[in-house]
Structure 1
Amino acid sequence: MTFAVGIFDLFSFAVPGAVQLSLLVYVLDRLGVLHVAALTSAPGALLVAGAVVASYLLGHLFHPLAAQLERLRPRRDAEEARQEFVAAVPQARDRAYVQANPVLLVAAAELHDKDAAGEIVRMRAQSVMLRNIAFAFTLAAVVALVQTATGPHRVVAAVAAALSLLGGVGALGSGRKVWHLARIKTFEICYWIPDIDQTFAADAPAEG
């Protein structure tokens, strides 16, 4: 579990935070608040450690804001993953676990085989990472648009704004796709868990 949490933190917070840190340093340098050249005089180990910590903290700080992007383009419904899995594996159609909440299925997979469930955690972390990077691209597009209006190098700034917007849209779409695939992977792994149907059948409300 410790390794899985580390992977989630790395993908979800540290990597997007590094992109956001780069953008922040660029803006501060352009405003004259921070001089990048002066940073090179600092000890290398200290500089790397500071960048890692700052990236992680920025990733956490902007995570709630990045989550708002899902209002613009929500994740695909869990039912779509369920139907896609059943279409690929028809023999699973009448199994009780297929109708269970995917969150509970992930927990069941972790209890059964942490290594196998780690693949699900990794995919979910990658999805969050892509969404958070999409937010960083959005911020980069805003900065580029401001530079387009104020200059100099307006053409370069306009191109950067367009590329940032395209990158943001692409990252957000890829994040949605990976989350969908993670749900399908959850159904696939749980297919092989002994007695999982009895567990969820017992939790299901009785008919009548």
Structure 2
Amino acid sequence: MSYYTQYRHLALEGAKPAPTAQQIAAIETLLEAPLPPTFLAFLQVANGAWFDYTTDVPDGNGGVEKMGFNTFFSADEGDFCDETLVGEIRAARQHTDMPARILPFARDGGNSMVYLDLTEDGGGRVLAYVQELPEWTGKRAHGFIELAHSFDAWLDSLYIDRDTVLDELEHSVSEPSHLDAMEEWLDIGMPAWRRDAGIAALFALKQVELCANEQD
């Protein structure tokens, strides 16, 4: 059994069927720009998908903040602020006066998003809009930050965070099927994980625990 659809080193969940020509045309008409081939290729397999990968976002202080823009918007006929490409374009233009040729395409669990900048100056770069947090959560960069010079380069930069793996093994894996899915996720996105002593040991321990629970 396969739990994911694979695109390069990415394991995708819950993707919808590939968009139709009419849906692509509607997005490009509203965007006022053609979608780049690399974005279209990804959209064919990742339409509305979810993926658990980390992006390093410059924090404005010489470091990075690890963020997950894990909900990819769909090509469905959208309305407004509904995690469709069309709906999020409309929302961005109304709420933030976003100019034409800038496409919001994914978000984190809050109000931070990533955008494809297809303006003449942007040249296809990927930007993040990072929502500022209250002071008690620590400082972070706020506003638009360039993450990559192209969509393809942004995809290449995504990775599975080791601390996330250890945390999910410790706290989220409670059934054998969860462990099977995690193994597939790691095989796709972190092929060398079995050579990581910490991850491999915790994975093996979780296997023993789940086997004992089944026997009980």
Q: TM-score, normalised by structure 1?
A: 0.25
Q: TM-score, normalised by structure 2?
A: 0.24
Of structures 1 and 2, the one with the larger relative CO (CA 8 A, separation 6+) is: 1
Kindly name which structure, 1 or 2, has the bigger radius of gyration based on alpha carbons. Answer: 1
**Structure in which a larger fraction of residues adopt helix:** 1
**Structure in which a larger fraction of residues adopt strand:** 2
